[in-house]
């Protein structure tokens, strides 16, 4: 359940960047290959924000799909599982997108 400490980290990061601001919305990107479960972050968010400047804030999560480049057949592809295998069978891939774990923006009152 690393999503609990991930959520604590994101709340701490927002408070550190915007001390004393009442935050009404937090927008995240959690990529398909990030290893983080968006629903678990949603579950933790309301608990972790209690008593903070983020209490009551909404959480909007964008989940960018995975995108990889195969170094063997030199094509880009979207893997359909966390095991990023090219359709040609190669595991020699470079991950182009899907590992995001980022606070993109917040809304403040």
Residue (of 91, 42, 98, 40) closest to 66 by Cα position: 98
Scanning the chain, the segments in alpha helix (DSSP H) are 2-17, 38-49
The window from 1-9, 42-50, 59-67 that contacts another protein (CB under 8 A) reads: 1-9
CA distance 101 to 80: 19
**List 56, 65, 82, 87, residue binding another protein (CB under 8 A):** 82
**Residue 30: both structure tokens together:** 């959690």
DSSP 8-state class, residue 69:
E
The window from 16-24, 47-55, 62-70 that contacts another protein (CB under 8 A) reads: 16-24
User: At its nearest, how many Å lie between another protein and the CB of residue 52?
Assistant: 16
The residues that touch another protein, with contacts defined as CB under 8 A, are 1-2, 5-6, 9-10, 12-14, 16-18, 24-25, 28, 33, 35-36, 82-83, 85, 91-92, 101-109
């Amino acid at each position: 359940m690393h999503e609990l400490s991930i959520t604590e980290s994101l709340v701490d990061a927002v408070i550190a960047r915007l001390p004393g601001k009442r935050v009404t919305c937090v927008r995240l990107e959690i990529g398909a290959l990030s290893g983080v479960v968006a629903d678990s972050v949603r579950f933790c968010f309301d608990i972790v924000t209690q008593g903070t400047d983020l209490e009551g804030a909404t959480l909007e999560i964008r989940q960018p799909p995975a995108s990889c480049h195969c170094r063997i057949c030199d094509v880009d592809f979207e893997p359909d599982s966390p095991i990023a295998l090219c359709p040609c069978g190669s595991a020699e891939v470079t991950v182009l997108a899907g590992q995001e774990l980022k606070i993109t923006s917040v809304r403040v009152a």
